A and B are shown apart, each in its own frame.
Chain A
Amino acid sequence: MSYVYLYALLGVSLFVLGLNALIVHAHLLRKILAVNVMSTGVFLVLVALSSRNEEVLPDPVPHAMVITGIVVSVSATALALILMLKVNRATGKNELPDRGRD
C-alpha cells in the first residue's frame, strides 16, 4: 500500500470523525465545525487519490474540484453561521430543539 492510500484513509477517517461529531454534539457551532471537518476529509481524499503512484505526475482535475469545493464550503459556512446567530436571537439558545413529534 503506497502513501497515497494512507492519505486517502486519513481523509475517510476525518469524514467519519466529523459525521460522529455532527450527530453527537448539540451546540450548533460544533455541528458547523463538524461539517467543515467532514468536507476537509473529502477534499483530502480527492487530492490524495489524484496521484495514482509515485512516478506519474498528479492529475490536476481533482485539484480544480477541491478549489471549487472550498468556495462552496466557505459560502455554506457563512450562511450556517448567520443562521446560527438568527436562531440564537430568536430562541436564546445555540441548540436545535428536540423534535417533539414525528
Chain B
Amino acid sequence: MELILGDVPWIVVLIILPLTGGMACFLFPAISKSLGLLTSLAVVACVWGLGWQLEEEGAQRYAIGGWGAPLGIDLYADGLSLLMLVVAALVGLGISVYSCGYFSPDKANHFWPLWLFLCGALNALFLSSDIFNLYVTLELLGLTAVALVALADGAEALTSAMRYLLISLLGSLFYLLGVAFLYHSFGSLDIAILAQRAEPSPAVWAAVGLISTGLLLKTALFPMHFWLPAAHACAPTPVSALLSALVVKASFYILLRMWLEIFPMVGTSFAQLLGLLGAAAVLWGGIQALRQTRLKLLIAYSTVSQLGYLFLAFPLGTSLAWKGALYMLLSHAMAKAAMFMAAGNILVLGGHDRIAELSSITQRLPLTLTAFTLAGISIMGLPPSGGFIAKWLLLQASIESGQWWWGIILILGGLLAAAYVFKVIGHVFTQDEPTRQAGTLPTTMEWSALVLALVAVLLGLFTSWPLAIMEIGSPFGTGHSG
C-alpha cells in the first residue's frame, strides 16, 4: 500500500484527471453529471494521496518529461500548495453535489466540462513553480470562469461576464509584462531559481509593480473590486460560490508565493500600502454590504470585505500572520460557498432574493437557514469558528509586531460583518404569511450548503490539522519580517 501510494506522481494526476474528466463530460453529455461527481471525488482522493506523500517525504518537485528546471517546467508542491488544493477539492466536491440538483439538463451539458476545466486550471495553478506556466493557468482559469458566469442568461449576467473578461485579460497582460521583465533580468522562469538570483534593480521594481497590479486587479482588492459584485451576484449559484470561494483566491495565492519567494527585497512601504488597501477593503466592503437590498449582492460585497483581511498579513509579514491569512482564506472559502448556496436555494424556491421579503420563503427552508446562520458565524468571526481562529492569529501577530492598529480594523470589520449578517437574519425571523406556492428543493442542495457551513465552524475546533499542513516544506521560512 505504502509503496503504491508513494510511487504515484500525484502532482501530475491532479492536473490530468480533471482535464480528462472535462473532456469526457464534453464528449458524453448524457452521463456528464455522474462523470463530474466521480471526478470531484477522485480529485479529493488524489489530494489525500499527495498530502500523504508530502507528510512522508516533505515538499515535492516534479520535472515534467524529465527536463529539469532551467529548460523544462517544474511542478512543485509544499504545505502552501497542499492547503490550497485541499480547499479547492473540498469546496469543489460541495459545489459538484450542489450542482447535481441545480442545473437543467440543457445547462448542465455546458456546466460540467467548464467546471472540470476550471478545477484542472486551479490545481495546475497551485502546483506550478514556473511563472510563465502560472500565466497560462491564470488565463485558463479566467476564460472558464467567464464562460461559467455567462451560463446565466439575461442581459445583466452577460454584461457582467463581458466586463469580467476584459478585467481578467487586462490583469493577465500586466502580469505577463512583469514576467517579461523578470525573465530579462534573471534569465529564468522557475520560482526557486529566481529566488536565488533576485536582487533589486529598476527592471525588477517595474516587474513587481506590474505583477502586483495585475494580480490585485484579479483578486479584486479595493479599489479594484468594482467588477466583482456584479459578476459574482449575476452568475448561477454554484458558479457564484466557485468564484467567491476559489477563483479570487488563486491570484492571491500567486501574489503570496511571489512575495514569499521572489520579492523579499521589496521593503516595507509597499507592504504597508497593501495593508492599507486591505483595511479600506474591509471597511468599504462591509459598509456596501450593509447597504444592499438583494441577498446575493450583499454576499458578494461581503467577499470584497473578507478579501481585505488577507492583505492585512503583508505589513505584519510574520509566519503567524501568514498563517492567520491562510486560515481566513480556508474558512472564508467554506463559509462563503455555503452562504451563496443558501442564497441560491432561496432564489430557486422563492424566485427573488430581496432581503426585506425573505421571511415568507425561508420558513420553508430550515436547513438552508441553519447553513446561512452557521456560515454567518464564521464570517463574523465568532468563536468557535474558522473565522475566529483566523482573526485571533492575525490579532496576535499584529500585537506581537507592535502594529496594533491593524487589530482595530479586524474588530471593526467583525462588527460590520455582524451588522450585515444580522440584517438578513433579522428579516428572516419576522412573522409573515408563508407563501402559498408549492415547490421543493432536492435535498442535496440543502445538505451541501449545510455541510460546508459546518466545516467552516468546525475549523474553529480542529485547528491543529490545517496548521500542520501549512508547515510542510516551511513555505514561510524565507518570508521577510517587516
Contacts and interface: CB of A to CB of B under 8 A. Distances in A.
Interface of A: 12, 15, 19, 22, 28, 31-32, 35, 38-39, 41-42, 45-46, 49, 59, 61-62, 65, 68-69, 72, 75-76, 79-80, 83-84, 86-87, 90-91, 96-97, 99, 102
A35 B174 CA distance: 11
Nearest to A85: B158
A18 to B, nearest CB: 8
Given A61-B183, A91-B155, A102-B226, A69 B162 contact: no
Nearest to A52: B184
Contacts of B180: 42, 45-46, 49, 62
B150 A38 contact: no
A69 to B, nearest CB: 7
Contacts of A15: 173, 177
A96 B150 CA distance: 15
A12 B206 CA distance: 12
25 contacts: A35-B166, A42-B176, A45-B180, A46-B180, A46-B183, A49-B184, A62-B183, A68-B136, A69-B135, A76-B143, A79-B146, A79-B147, A80-B162, A80-B169, A83-B158, A83-B161, A84-B162, A86-B150, A87-B158, A87-B159, A90-B153, A90-B154, A90-B159, A102-B226, A102-B288
A62 B135 CA distance: 14
A35 B161 CA distance: 16
* Dominant secondary structure of chain A at its interface with chain B: helix
Most chain A Cβ neighbours within 10 Å, of B139, B146, B154 = B139
A73 to B, nearest CB: 9
A39 B162 contact: no
Given A19-B170, A35-B170, 4 more contacts: A35-B166, A39-B176, A61-B183, A80-B166
B455 interface: no
A42 B184 CA distance: 13
Interface residues of B, number: 33
Nearest to A18: B173
A72 B143 CA distance: 10
Contacts of A97: 159
Contact of B155 (A42, A61, A65, A87): A87
B173 A38 contact: yes
Contacts of B169: 35, 39, 76, 80
A65 B188 CA distance: 12
B315 interface: no
Contacts of A46: 180, 183
Interface string B160-172: 0111011001100
B96 to A, nearest CB: 24
B275 interface: no
A75 B147 CA distance: 12
Contacts of B288: 102
B390 interface: no
A97 B230 CA distance: 12
B162 A28 contact: yes
B229 interface: yes
B189 interface: yes
Interface string B166-201: 100110010011011001100101000000000000
